[in-house]
């Protein structure tokens, strides 16, 4: 695909769920593109995808794939980013990486555009990292409050959709639901992605456990929140849970602040902040649920109330589409700000 103006973009991992969502975001947001290159593994090369009325053929990803490309959106695994991002930057390309590989590197900015867009300007390695999906969804609700009250600590529990495990997570849930619906048991052959049955169940484990008893997913919330907010001493405790929902993550948060909090004031601030909206009328059973944000750009926050244990603290519930704002959209928003 070519045009008379704009940037030459590449999507690495273009055939995966996040890569496909990136393609959709670029088209919906009318991103100024002069040329679009789709890259994937050798087994996916040759597939064609429509973009702005033109079919684009997927090319095999190699170390020589990046000549002439301005921005590369990496949507694949950390192993792919580790191997190929240096080749991209050596070719003069700005890398926006959705994996966890570069997130904690001191010389790589970790960016949520609504929160710390200015960090994009300082990128000595020409790499910008996309945060973890759960971190993004959580901070979209907390940052407007942080600006008002000064964030002191976060205690969170996530309720994460199976699409966070990729297409195989959805397939596993659907197979188990089908079996149970037919009166059949869930067998070990139906449990390849998760260590336990996910249908009609919840699993208090996302990613592997570390020595301190927290999973890697939970520690991402700790380390990434501190970096994005530039609060190195921020206290964070998180429990990440996989739930039998197809798409959109939910997070229960108790946030303590330096200043006294006000529920009505907090609710009002979300009405004027980009990317986050309040749905908070519990007397009418109105609060965010995963279906509200599925395939939507904005995150939703509700159940806003003063915490009954901690001083100057709010309890709230935030929901966001982890494939869109938690991954693809956030990366495209970063690309829109790259000069």
- Give the SS3 label for residue 220: helix
Active site annotation includes 196: no
Alpha helices in 91-126 (DSSP H): 113-116
Tokens of 26: 């670029």
Quote the CA–CA distance of 140 and 162 in Å, as a whole number. 21
What token pair was written down for 198? Answer: 């996910």
Distance, in Å, from the CA atom of 82 to the CA atom of 332, rounded to the nearest integer, reads 20
The label of the residue with tokens 């009405």 reads 271
| Among 43, 71, 80, 69, CA closest to 58 | 43
- Active-site residue, from 25, 93, 101, 133: 133
Of 8, 101, 146, 249, which one is the catalytic site residue?
Answer: 249
Cβ–Cβ contacts within 10 Å for residue 310, how many? 16
To the query of whether residue 101 is one of the catalytic residues in this protein, the response is no
Pairing of strands 127-129, 48-51: unpaired
Distance CA 281, CA 304 (A): 9
Residue spans of alpha helices (H) in 2-96: 17-28, 78-90
Structure token pair of residue 302: 């509700």
Reading across the β-sheet that carries 276-278, which strands appear in turn? 235-242, 151-160, 249-257, 313-320, 299-306, 276-278
Angle of helix 17-28 relative to helix 329-337, nearest 10 degrees? 50
C-alpha 52/C-alpha 120 separation (Å) is 28
As annotated, the active-site residues are: 133, 249
């Amino acid at each position: 695909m070519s045009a008379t103006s704009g940037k030459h973009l590449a999507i690495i991992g273009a055939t995966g769920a996040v890569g496909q969502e990136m393609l959709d975001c670029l088209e919906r947001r009318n991103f100024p593109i002069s040329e679009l290159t789709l890259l994937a593994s050798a087994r996916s090369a040759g597939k064609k995808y429509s973009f702005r009325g033109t079919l684009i053929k997927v090319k095999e990803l190699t170390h020589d794939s990046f000549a002439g490309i301005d921005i590369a959106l990496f949507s694949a695994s950390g192993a792919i980013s580790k191997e190929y991002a240096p080749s991209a930057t050596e070719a003069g390309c700005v890398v926006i990486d959705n994996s966890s590989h570069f997130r904690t590197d001191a010389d790589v900015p970790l960016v949520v555009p609504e929160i710390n867009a200015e960090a994009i300007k300082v990128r000595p390695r020409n790499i910008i990292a996309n945060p973890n999906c759960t971190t993004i969804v959580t901070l979209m609700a907390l940052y407007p409050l942080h600006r008002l009250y000064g964030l002191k600590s976060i205690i969170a529990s996530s309720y994460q959709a199976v699409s966070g495990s990729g297409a195989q997570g959805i397939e596993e849930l659907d197979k188990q639901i089908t079996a149970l619906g037919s009166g059949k048991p869930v067998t070990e052959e139906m449990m390849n992605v998760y260590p336990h049955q996910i249908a009609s169940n919840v699993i208090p484990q996302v990613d592997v456990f570390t020595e301190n008893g927290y999973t890697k997913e939970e520690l991402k919330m700790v380390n990434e929140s501190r970096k994005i907010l530039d609060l190195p001493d921020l206290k964070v405790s998180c429990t990440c849970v996989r739930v039998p929902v197809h798409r959109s993550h939910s997070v229960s948060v108790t946030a303590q602040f330096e200043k006294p909090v006000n529920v009505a004031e907090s609710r009002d601030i979300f009405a004027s902040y980009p990317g986050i909206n309040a749905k908070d009328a519990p007397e009418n059973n109105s609060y965010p649920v995963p279906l509200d944000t599925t395939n939507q750009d904005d995150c939703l926050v509700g159940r806003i109330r003063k915490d009954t244990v901690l001083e100057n603290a709010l309890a709230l519930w935030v929901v966001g589409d982890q494939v869109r704002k938690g991954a693809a959209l956030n990366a495209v928003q970063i690309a829109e700000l790259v000069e």
